[in-house]
Amino acid sequence: MPVPRWCPPQEPTRQEDFLLRRLTRTRKLFGFLRLHRHELFDEAFQTELEAMYRDTGAGKDPLPPAQLAMAVLLQGYVGASDAEAVELTIVDLRWQMVLGCLGTTEPAFSQGALHDFRHRLIRHDMDRRLLERTVELARQTKGFDWKKLPKTLRVAIDSAPLEGAGRVEDTFNLLGHAARQVVACIAAMLDWTVDRVCAEAGIPVLLESSVKRGLDVEWSDPEQKAEALQSLVAQLDALRRWVESHLPEQMKEPPLQQTLETLERIVAQDLEPTPGGGGGGSSVRIRKGVAPDRRISIEDPQMRHGRKSKSRRFNGYKRHIAADLDTDLILATAITPANQPEAEATPDLRSDIARQRLTIGELYIDRGYIKSLLVEQVLGTGNEVICKPWVPRNKGGELFTKADFRLNLRDLTITCPANEVQSFRLGGTVEFDATRCDHCPLRAQCTKRPLGHGRQVKIAEDERLQQRLRKQITTKKGRARLRQRVRIEHRLAHIVQRQGRRARYLGMRPNLFDLRRAATLQNLETIHRKMAA
């Protein structure tokens, strides 16, 4: 069945004119989308969207992909669920006008069609193209004076936390949740009830609604808690043995294999042997400290613990955006687990920008992104990186800081305030001659190390860059350039306001889709604002 093309009329009808006049104060993007839908979804872009269907045919609902893509945007604009979006196509004249079905009494599409279309967009990476399309649309409009803009881009990158949508659980609940998934999988495979599996496999703790209820101890008592853990672990072992003896082949295949792997992973990351056997039969305990890359949710396996600052923790992801400072358009987005350093997002951001054949002339970042390949590449092509430098500090603040030492990066030498010279290597630690330091009149201001030990200074791997950045902030112009990063902070604040603090979906890829959609809407609002100015 051929994929239908969306060809709604361009000229507004009298009823649409009336609605457009009503949309000048609130929800103005409905009006913009109605008037510019044929430009956003032009013939070439509709052909690209239709190509998504070539592998499987048109599917159950032969609806124009461009119309569904518009519905996906409207859904993001008003923050509606799939079910609500379907209803809004019947009860909201603004939806009907934008989707080209004004006056209809039937839904424009089914909930299933919208769900399937979103997954199709994700599978074909067309959410990325939707965002790129807004940058292309901006180039076609008269809202931006492109001739006056720099030839290469001034791109800024920033990130914000995104709380994951999955439930974060403690060790007992994580183990119970993972075991419940194994039991549910077995029940489905054997066509048994969950209760029967629990009884036969020797894991009665799962017969209760929660694992803590099933263990039923005084949780504030460490001894009772330790005993409860041994009891739970013994039942998990019984479940594992039962699977090995009753389902030896099935346990090597999905889906049972995956559920067992999840359970094994939670056991390995959260439990450790009790030192010295623990006495009293307690062979394992909850691990001290957090395991690297610890899984924190069964529902969303990609969520991680992260930190915004030393005191502020969050669970889930980081959302990153890269925007052009001259047009305010968002060019690329990325999602990373919350425990990953910011620099991990830059390969995706860079490849999305490069795909649009755009070149970064100036890169505005915060220190989290400084150790990234993108920075190396921008500097390597003779372009500039604008970033706040690390401020040299010393304990207590009363001793000389690194800034009081003169670094010669050509000869790789460092000169102290008493004019002692020492050579260094990048990424190492310099120690001044102990005898000189012991007899130095400036020693009290320089080091608190015991006699016989010279002052130490750490030299960063990227010391050359850091020196360059420190030089930048010594001039008025340099400080003014640094302040321009505030624009990306505003862009990001709008994205956070649009998306909310909590993720809409489970998993990184669906949340990348949601971020790209939010960025697409933001770009459309930017274009609208510039055109109206």
Contact residues: ligand SF4, CB under 6 A? 416-418, 420, 432, 436-437, 440, 442-443, 446-447, 454-455
Q: Which is nearer to ligand SF4, 193 or 456 (CB)?
A: 456
CB atoms within 10 A of CB 108: 22
Closest approach, Cβ 392 to ligand SF4, in A, equals 14
- ω into residue 107 within 30 of 0, thus cis? no
Closest approach, Cβ 307 to ligand SF4, in A, equals 35
Closest approach, Cβ 419 to ligand SF4, in A, equals 8
Q: Do 332 and 323 contact (CB within 8 A), yes or no?
A: no
Give residue for tokens 């808690």: 225
Closest approach, Cβ 446 to ligand SF4, in A, equals 3
Q: Which is nearer to ligand SF4, 289 or 397 (CB)?
A: 397
- ω into residue 161 within 30 of 0, thus cis? no
- For residues 174 and 208, give the distance between their C-alpha atoms in angstroms, rounded to a whole number: 15
Closest approach, Cβ 464 to ligand SF4, in A, equals 22
Q: Which is nearer to ligand SF4, 13 or 435 (CB)?
A: 435
Q: Which is nearer to ligand SF4, 353 or 437 (CB)?
A: 437
Helix, strand or coil for residue 96? helix
Backbone phi, psi, residue 285, to 5°: -140, 170
Closest approach, Cβ 443 to ligand SF4, in A, equals 4
Helix, strand or coil for residue 58? coil
Q: Which is nearer to ligand SF4, 122 or 418 (CB)?
A: 418
Buried/exposed 43-57: b ≥16 CB within 10 Å, e otherwise: eebbeebbebbeeee
Q: Do 63 and 115 contact (CB within 8 A), yes or no?
A: no
Q: Which is nearer to ligand SF4, 187 or 442 (CB)?
A: 442
- For residues 356 and 194, give the distance between their C-alpha atoms in angstroms, rounded to a whole number: 52
Q: Which is nearer to ligand SF4, 204 or 428 (CB)?
A: 428
Q: Do 174 and 286 contact (CB within 8 A), yes or no?
A: no
Closest approach, Cβ 418 to ligand SF4, in A, equals 4
Q: Give the residue among 341, 458, 444 at the shortest CA–CA distance from 393.
A: 458
Q: Which is nearer to ligand SF4, 195 or 438 (CB)?
A: 438
Closest approach, Cβ 377 to ligand SF4, in A, equals 37
Two tokens, residue 202: 């020797």
Q: Which sign, positive or negative, has the C-alpha torsion 120, 125, 131, 137?
A: negative
